[in-house]
């Protein structure tokens, strides 16, 4: 039960991006959160409306003023680039706000790793929690600053952590994560890679061995190394992670099913499909992660398929799910 005054006043910085607009859609139907102020990016200098959200939310998106945003808000969602979040987040904390950050600015605990992969960020503030909801609920409830996971790590870790925590991964197993995301995962700023003509009718791998979501996964897996290769596919939204592992010798198929059933028995947004392999179309525009698998008991090889909507469970939806926990609400509120 929350002790916060209701409704909870919500601020949103970065409202014009894909994740920011998705958050507005979700917040508009939330019974305890009210969107008190929405701002553009730090570079935006004019007030604007969002035509796609007419009659969903008819407020103005105003230029970012941290003091005004803090004064209007109890909790602020940051849908900004990591350099901006690294600056704005601590200032909001100092002003007494709680913060849910969707960038990578605060995800990595190791200072050296953070300096390498997110060089525009600085030291971690106190009270940071990593927001993989199904595994970090206790820390999330107490968090002053919530660092929302990346979309690729969300799908991959939900596939891997039940196996690791059940002791089913072979000792020397280094998971191979072959993942494919829709183009909205690259953000709204246009680049050659996200141009329609570059994506239509094609699939492109990128960032092999050098993607900044890799250390995030390794951190969550307690240091276990992974091979991660992301791909861009010609979809507007949706993400699939095909996770390949070897299990301890003698593992039975029933043990795999028990590991996932036990991990997600009370998780409202993880649907375990077993040996029926899930598809991206099953989860788009929802906060669900669907997980299924194929297992070769003779060799101990397991392929886990994990699918999410990269803008919902991989960004805005998981952020709202976490904010629900932070304020003592049912984590499903505003998401079903």
Strands 227-232 and 61-62, by their bridges, are unpaired
Position of tokens 């849908």? 79
What span, in angstroms and rounded, lies between the C-alpha atoms of 106 and 92?
14
In what side-by-side order are the strands of the sheet with 128-130?
61-62, 33-39, 8-13, 75-78, 98-101, 145-147, 128-130
Could you give the C-alpha distances from 45 to 22, 41, 163, in angstroms and in order? 22, 9, 48
Q: Which of 151, 173, 197, 289 is catalytic?
A: 151
217-226 burial, b if ≥16 CB within 10 A, otherwise e?
bbbbbeeeeb
Look up 151 and say whether it is catalytic.
yes
> How many H helices and E strands in the chain?
10, 14
What span, in angstroms and rounded, lies between the C-alpha atoms of 286 and 316?
10
Q: What positions carry a catalytic annotation?
A: 151
């Amino acid at each position: 039960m929350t002790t916060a005054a209701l409704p909870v006043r919500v601020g949103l910085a970065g409202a014009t991006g894909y994740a920011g607009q998705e958050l507005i859609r979700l917040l508009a139907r939330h019974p305890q959160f009210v969107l008190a102020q929405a701002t553009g990016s730090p570079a935006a200098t004019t007030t604007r409306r969002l035509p796609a959200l007419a009659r969903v939310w008819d407020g103005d998106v105003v230029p970012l003023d941290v003091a005004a945003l803090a004064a209007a808000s109890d909790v602020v969602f940051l849908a900004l680039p990591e350099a901006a979040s690294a600056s704005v987040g601590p200032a909001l904390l100092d002003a007494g706000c709680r913060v849910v950050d969707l960038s990578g600015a605060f995800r990595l605990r190791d200072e050296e790793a953070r300096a390498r992969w997110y060089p525009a960020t600085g030291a971690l503030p106190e009270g940071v929690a990593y927001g993989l909801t199904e595994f970090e609920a206790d820390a999330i409830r107490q968090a002053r600053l919530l660092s929302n996971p990346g979309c690729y790590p969300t799908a991959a870790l939900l596939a891997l952590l039940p196996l690791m925590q059940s002791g089913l991964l072979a000792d020397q197993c280094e998971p191979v994560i072959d993942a494919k995301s829709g183009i909205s995962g690259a953000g709204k700023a246009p680049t050659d890679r996200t141009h329609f003509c570059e994506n239509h009718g094609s699939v492109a791998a990128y960032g092999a061995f050098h993607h900044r979501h890799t250390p995030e996964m390794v951190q969550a897996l307690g240091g276990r190394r992974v091979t991660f290769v992301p791909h861009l596919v010609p979809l507007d939204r949706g993400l699939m992670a095909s996770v390949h592992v070897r299990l301890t010798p003698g593992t039975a198929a029933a043990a795999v099913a028990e590991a996932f059933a036990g991990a997600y028995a009370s998780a409202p947004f993880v649907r375990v499909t077993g040996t029926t392999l899930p598809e991206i179309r099953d989860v788009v525009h929802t906060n669900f992660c669907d997980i299924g698998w194929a297992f070769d008991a003779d060799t101990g090889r397991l392929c886990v398929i994990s699918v999410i909507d990269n803008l919902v469970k991989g960004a805005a939806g998981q952020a709202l799910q976490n904010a629900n926990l932070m304020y003592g609400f049912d984590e499903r509120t505003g998401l079903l």
